[in-house]
Each structure stands twice: as structure tokens, then as C-alpha cells.
A and B are shown apart, each in its own frame.
Chain A
Amino acid sequence: MGRRILFVTTDQQRYDGLGCNGGQVAATPVIDGIAASGVRFERAHPQNVVCMPSRSTIITGQHVHTHGVWMNGVPLPIDAPSVARYLREEGGYRTALLGKAHFEPLLDPFLQFKENQIAMNDSFGPIRGFEHAEFATHAPRGYSHYSQWIAKNHPDVANGFYPVLNFSLEVNEAGGGETGAPQVSTNPVPKDQYQTDWVADRTIAWLDSLDAEDDFFCWMSFPDPHHPWDPPASEIGRVNWRDLDLPPGYPQDRAEREAILDAKPIHWRRWYDGTLVSNYEAPRDWVPATLTPDQILEINARVHVKNMLIDEALGRVMALIESRGWTDSTDVIFTTDHGEFQGDYGLLFKGPYHVDSLMRLPMIWRPAKDAGAVPAVVKAPVGLIDLAPTFCEIAGLPVPEWMEGKPLPQSDSAADEQGRERVLTVWDSVHPNGTRIHLRTIYRDGWTCTSALPGTVHDGTEGELYCHADDPLQRVNRWDDPSVRALRDDLVADCFENLPTWEEPHMQIAAPV
């Protein structure tokens, strides 16, 4: 019997969404408690800021240009390296993935992808080394197990969910709630039928099916707090949006807001003005410049509610682990795949924008008590790429050569010993309208530096450079500041030296998402 692993992910959750990271609204006592007795990372970045590439990094332990899932809609090959398969085959672990997978496209009318096939065929795996899988996404639509469960047991509630896509299969811009905010609606689904509780229920059921002596790698993957912002109506009253303050990331003065955007590479302002559609992750027909302060507050309130529901659901799973007598032998790792704008710079959703809103992630690791770890806060840069090697280390297995990260450090001194200096993030997108954007980003020494490579929007001369100590909200772009030119050039060189080559041919896009 070794150390067990409960790996918990959310989808599109910000660093500041948790109490332990300074969040002031959503009560997250379960996660905060795990953080207090474990390791809390203050600078964890994804290797890409949208779901499929980021999740592919988690399961493979590889950079985006190595696993090849370079944007949403590019399927991760079914035989791609998988830490779950490695733990199962080499460590004898029982393995399961409950919740959102999204290594393959969700839009799949020809049912080409195994994630969708197994749900449609009433199968539960195996898939990618998970002996058991039950999938969910942001609503009970499409081919997930959650959709099948709702259709079979609660068909009356399905239409109460906000339609994430419109009739053109674009991200829906329709507004609702009290402010007309996009992707906000009133969802009458009872809390115990909502996806968050369903994921926890399925996790509990699977864990409870194990023998007492089993080692397990259980990935519990909440689809929330990702939009649409339609948590159960019964829970909306937990946070009254009228009681909230506007987030610090939102410059309230329009002229100031637009001046900040104008100092960034041109795709920022063009998206804000509605003159550029570069990616599929935000509504095509929604113009950020129309966003009102009240809409920001209403959306933020709903995100806080979703975060509270996640925390409570996790609490139920932790109680099950306690009841099985596994608490002292279980490592708990909590993180997300990427962040989002919640009014920052006047924006919502996500896209080719490499700032803390999207890149600074909550990440917490409470090693099993049996491992004798000491609570700590780690400021050194780490990435989602480091998770797979960490699971290997926990399992007592060597880190295979195909993984490109390092096991997470449990202190800054341990990070120093590992020679940790930087974390890297890339963006590549090709929109059907022909727009191509390519970003390469490094975080090192308290600076974030992004090169905008030549595409259809940038000519290769633009970029972003932010000093986090002086500018925690990344409002002052110092890319063209001569006083830090040498630093900029060094960071750019360092980024390219440490990124793997993006070999051609690039894998083909199979669907928008």
C-alpha cells in the first residue's frame, strides 16, 4: 500500500477565487483548510490558457508543442502519453476520471472521439489509462455521462440550462439575469442535480467501490466555475451582486481603461472594440466595450457562488476519504486548467491574453500525512506541466523521459535546488476568418514577458513586459521601455531557448471546441 492521490481540478478558476489566496467573497473553507496544512503555490501557470491544450499538458506532462494540442478543437491522440496509464501499468494504481475531460472535441456530430463514444454507448472506459470514466461538461448537452444521466432521470431540467452555443454553433452572446450580462441566466435545476454535485457524487461512488487496500489516482474534474454563469437558482442568493465592489482589475474610468489597452499589443484593443474576432472562446457577436459595471458584478457574484458549491462538494468527498480511513495516506492536489477575465481591463472570458487573470492559477498540494511534509508557501514559478511528474514521485515511480516537467517543490529552497527559474506559456490560434495569433510567454524573476510573433494581427515587433512587484495588475506595458530593454531581450531569449520546437505538420483542428 502506497500513497493515494486525489487530484481535483476546476475549469477556468482564478487565483483570487479562493479564500486562501486572498479572495474576500466566496467562502472556501475546505480548500482553505487543505492549503493551511499543505503547500500553497503563489505562481502556478498553465502552459496554455484554454482547456484542451492545458488539460493535455496535465495528462501528458508535456509542453503544448510536444503533445501537439495547440488550440481548442485539436484532439489529443488516444494513444498519447498518459500519467494515468503510467500509474496504472507501472504502479498498479486504480484510476478514474470523474467530470470534465476535454482532451477531445465536445462538438462531435460524427461521433469520432472516444470520450463522446463511451458516454453514448453507456460505457465507463477504460480510456487513456483511466479504468473508470464518467464525463460531464458545462451543461447536460452533448454526449457526456452527465447528459445521459439528466436525460434519463431528470429530463425536465435540461432546458433550464443556458445554451452555451447559439444556433450558429458560436459561443452564445445572449444576456440574462438582472443586468443582461452575456452567458448569465436563471437555472431552475435543483442543486443536487447540478453538475458540481453530480461530479462529487460520482467520485464518492467510485471511491467507495474500492477495496480498503487499493492505491488510487482519482481525478475529480469540476466543469465549474466556467461560463455559462447559471448556477442553481436556489443558490444565487448566497451572494448579492449589489453588495460587491468592482474588482481591482477593472479600471472604472473609460479613458484610463482604453489607454491601458492601447499600450498593449493591438489585438487587445481591437477585441475590446469589437473589430477583431481571433478565437472561439468568447462570443463572436459580443463587444467587450459594451460591458457595464453592473454586469461585471452580477457575473462575479455567480462565479463566487459556483466556487462555494465546488468547495462544499469537495468537502463531501473529503468526508468520504476520512470515513474510509484514507486521510493520512492520501495526497490532495487542487488546481485548475486556466483562469479568466472577470472585468479586468473591461474584458470577460479568455483568449490570447497572457496576464495574471488567465495565467495565475490556484494550486494547492497537501501531501499525505504519512509523507511527513511541512506546510509551506511556494513563490517559485511552477506549471501544470509539473503535475504528472509529481504524481509519479508520490507513487514512488521514476519520472519517465517523455514528461517535460519536474516534481512540484514543497518549499522555495527545494525549488532552488531543482533550479527552477521560469514557467512558459504559449498561444497559437487560427480562426476560420483567417486570423492567426501566436504568443510566447515567460515568467521569471517577477516579470512576465510575452512576444507576439508574426501572424495576421502582429508583425513580430509587439510584445508585453510587466513587473509584478511594481505593477501587480499588469497595466503598464514596458515592452518598449529602453531602461529594461536588456532584461526584455534576455527574457525573450530565455523563453525561446527553453521552449520545445513546434514541429510541422501541426495536428489538424477537428472542431471549434
Chain B
Amino acid sequence: MPTRRSHVIVKGAPDEVWGLIRDPLGWNPWFPEMGESSMEGDLRTITLPSGLSIVEQITTVDDELRRFQYRIVENFVIKDHLSTIDVFDLGDGTSLVSYSLEIQPDAMAIMLGYVTGQALLHLREIFEGE
């Protein structure tokens, strides 16, 4: 199973950073590549800028661990997907954010690995600007 992981250190307190991640409909400021999104139950439907639509099941929003997990479902190309975002307290007012994923096929691992890495860079920029 192909896996990918990116991480950044963010100049923000973990609860502040987690606040931007835990809301499934609040990702646009730090993940603009995702396009538009809507929720129905635990299913998030995103419409990518290319027009492609992807349905994701939000499986974990753990405020104690600061962990967010979701799976892409109902997609004829993507198989066996699980993404995990963790926010770690570095103890000095900054946070370590990790975005890992497993997915098939290989091509999607490359593309999602790249775009999620870009999203973390956006997240870092948000807090650099404060």
C-alpha cells in the first residue's frame, strides 16, 4: 500500500491550529486546492477546481488527541484510502502538524501526497502572517 506523509512546524498554539482543522467545512483558507465542500451526516462532498467530485467519510474528529481522519469513498479510481492529520504540542507555543495518507493506486498517492504537502505549507503561512 503506497503511503505518504508531510509535516510542518506551525507558529501557533496547538488549539488554535486544531481549530482550523477540526471543522470539515473550514478547510478552504489552508487547503484551497480542495475547492468547494458540503456535509451530509458524516459525509463530506468536495468539488475540486477541475470539476471532479469526491465523497469522503469523516471517521475521526478527536479533540483530545487533536486527530482528524477521513476516507475517500464512492470513487472508481481511488481505493483503500485513509488520511490522518495530527496536531502535536511542541510545548513552546508552536505545533507540529502531520498529514499522512495511505491510498491506492500509486498515481493517486503521488498526487495526494503532493497536494496535502502544499496544504500544510498554506497552513504554516497563515500563522507566519500573524
Instruction: Write the residues of chain A forming the contact surface with B, with a CB cutoff of 8 angstroms.
Output: 73, 107-112, 116, 120, 143, 165, 167-170, 431-433, 508-512
Please tell me which one of the listed residues B34, B35, B110 contacts residue A432 in the complex, with CB atoms under 8 A apart.
Answer: B110
Report whether B111 and A511 are in contact in the complex, using a CB–CB cutoff of 8 Å.
yes
How many pairs, one residue from A and one from B, have CB atoms within 8 Å of each other in the complex? 65
Provide the residues of chain A in CB contact with B29, threshold 8 Å.
Answer: none
Report whether B48 and A109 are in contact in the complex, using a CB–CB cutoff of 8 Å.
yes
Say whether B108 faces chain A, with CB atoms less than 8 Å apart: yes
**CA–CA, A433 to B110, complex, Å?**
11
Say whether B33 faces chain A, with CB atoms less than 8 Å apart: yes
Provide the residues of chain B in CB contact with A169, threshold 8 Å.
Answer: 77, 105-108
Report whether B77 and A107 are in contact in the complex, using a CB–CB cutoff of 8 Å.
no
Report whether A111 and B50 are in contact in the complex, using a CB–CB cutoff of 8 Å.
yes
Report whether A143 and B50 are in contact in the complex, using a CB–CB cutoff of 8 Å.
yes
**CA–CA, A165 to B77, complex, Å?**
12
Say whether B94 faces chain A, with CB atoms less than 8 Å apart: no
Place the interface of chain B in its size category. 20 to 34
The 9 A-B pairs at the shortest CB distance, nearest first, are namely A169-B107, A432-B106, A111-B49, A110-B33, A510-B114, A168-B105, A111-B50, A512-B107, A110-B115
> Using an 8 Å CB-CB cutoff, how does the interface string of B99-127 with A read, 1 for contact, 0 for none?
00000111111110011011000000000
Please tell me which one of the listed residues A109, A120, A165 contacts residue B111 in the complex, with CB atoms under 8 A apart.
Answer: A109
Provide the residues of chain B in CB contact with A110, threshold 8 Å.
Answer: 33-35, 48-50, 111, 115
- Residues 2-54 of B at the A interface (beta carbon under 8 Å): 2, 33-35, 48-50, 52
Report 29 cross-chain contacts, Cβ distance below 8 Å, ordered by A residue. Answer: A73-B110, A107-B107, A107-B111, A108-B50, A109-B50, A110-B34, A110-B35, A110-B50, A110-B111, A110-B115, A111-B33, A111-B48, A112-B33, A116-B50, A165-B107, A168-B107, A169-B105, A169-B107, A170-B106, A170-B107, A432-B2, A432-B109, A432-B110, A508-B114, A508-B117, A510-B110, A511-B107, A511-B110, A512-B110
Provide the residues of chain B in CB contact with A167, threshold 8 Å.
Answer: 76-77
Name the residue of chain B whose CB is nearest to the CB of A105. Answer: B111
**CA–CA, A165 to B115, complex, Å?**
21
A296 to chain B minimum Cβ distance, whole angstroms, is: 28
A418 to chain B minimum Cβ distance, whole angstroms, is: 40
B120 to chain A minimum Cβ distance, whole angstroms, is: 12
Provide the residues of chain B in CB contact with A143, threshold 8 Å.
Answer: 50
A490 to chain B minimum Cβ distance, whole angstroms, is: 39
Given contact pairs A165-B107, A432-B2, A511-B107, a sample of 17 additional A-B residue pairs in the complex whose CB atoms are under 8 Å apart: A107-B107, A109-B50, A110-B34, A111-B50, A112-B115, A120-B50, A167-B76, A168-B104, A168-B107, A169-B106, A170-B105, A433-B106, A508-B114, A509-B114, A511-B111, A512-B106, A512-B107
Name the residue of chain A whose CB is nearest to the CB of B35. Answer: A110
**CA–CA, A31 to B104, complex, Å?**
45
A23 to chain B minimum Cβ distance, whole angstroms, is: 35
Name the residue of chain A whose CB is nearest to the CB of B114. Answer: A510
Please tell me which one of the listed residues A107, A112, A512 contacts residue B118 in the complex, with CB atoms under 8 A apart.
Answer: A112
Provide the residues of chain B in CB contact with A432, threshold 8 Å.
Answer: 2, 106, 109-110
Provide the residues of chain A in CB contact with B109, threshold 8 Å.
Answer: 432
Name the residue of chain A whose CB is nearest to the CB of B4. Answer: A432
Provide the residues of chain B in CB contact with A511, threshold 8 Å.
Answer: 107, 110-111, 114
A410 to chain B minimum Cβ distance, whole angstroms, is: 43
A188 to chain B minimum Cβ distance, whole angstroms, is: 26
